[in-house]
Structure 1
């Protein structure tokens, strides 16, 4: 059985309207609910030297290994909220991320008076995992150096387009055909740093928060199955 250690989740919620007003957010994520907040002065000081920005001084909120903050975007100001865990800070990263997102969602609906199913039009999730193959596994070591295709990897075959980048990492992109509009899309990168150790990074974009939550819930099993199949395919080659 593959040992999968999810080291971090980074989730960004995209709103249709610029609803992430600093004062409103500060009233939603309070110390009474366990949130620590950067002061406006601290946030502004951190921006010194970066140039004027309409979102300068936006607060960040911290709770249980997570940082919650609006993203300073020139294109979509006050429309992107980031919920990010600190690397290796969580005992159960997937479960704790889901719980944090449920809490944040409740605060957003109550404080902003929004319908997240309607007012969020996209969610981007990035997960980082370290995967270790057991020592007694019959799989071939240095699997990524041996893999030449994904047709014998059931999780990938027919679903992804693959190539190796110049650093030897395997990059996988969702196969979309001729339809440019997709409800969900992923870019997966697998690199190897030991005979039986891998780093798997998944960039996933969906059109709804519900779909993103489902993706987060299944990350650990997906990564475990993926790496088992890749090693098996290489051992049979």
Structure 2
């Protein structure tokens, strides 16, 4: 994990490594990002318990990164999601959502591909986190991560060709704070920061239980 030896953007080795592991694609089995998002989205919240230590490290790393504002793209293969995302709908995404700033990346069959049923999200984000300097795919995917609890409004839809749905989203401020930042007070002592991070993660899991 050469990227993690001298991590950029003020991250510790372990924080950078958590992003590196999240972005890896494993051979011969499900990747970490698939397993994590499965646990985040299931109704049985007990499945999150084994992830607590990793989530604390991973979310702390993401919170340290500067926010990215702009258009990002997310592709999902094999499904038409247009009926779920009607114009005017407001919702939170509780998974860790990987996107890209370069739409051509999605041509890969690993992401959106060129054939079959597909849904393409065009997302105007305000709090995306660029993980390019810490990613396993440092020079190719131009990955932006949308944090768990990111809140959106559906602005519109387009069906330009058969089997391709394009859904336009805009990130907006949620009616209540869905996830507490671990760095809400810059003057906290080291011990208080650790406590704040832990409490923030507990709040994150609690809010998932309420709003899922």
Q: TM-score, normalised by structure 2?
A: 0.27
Which is higher, the Rg of structure 1 or of structure 2? 1
Richer in strand (by share): 1
Q: Which has the higher contact order (CA 8 A, sep 6+)?
A: 1
Q: TM-score, normalised by structure 1?
A: 0.25
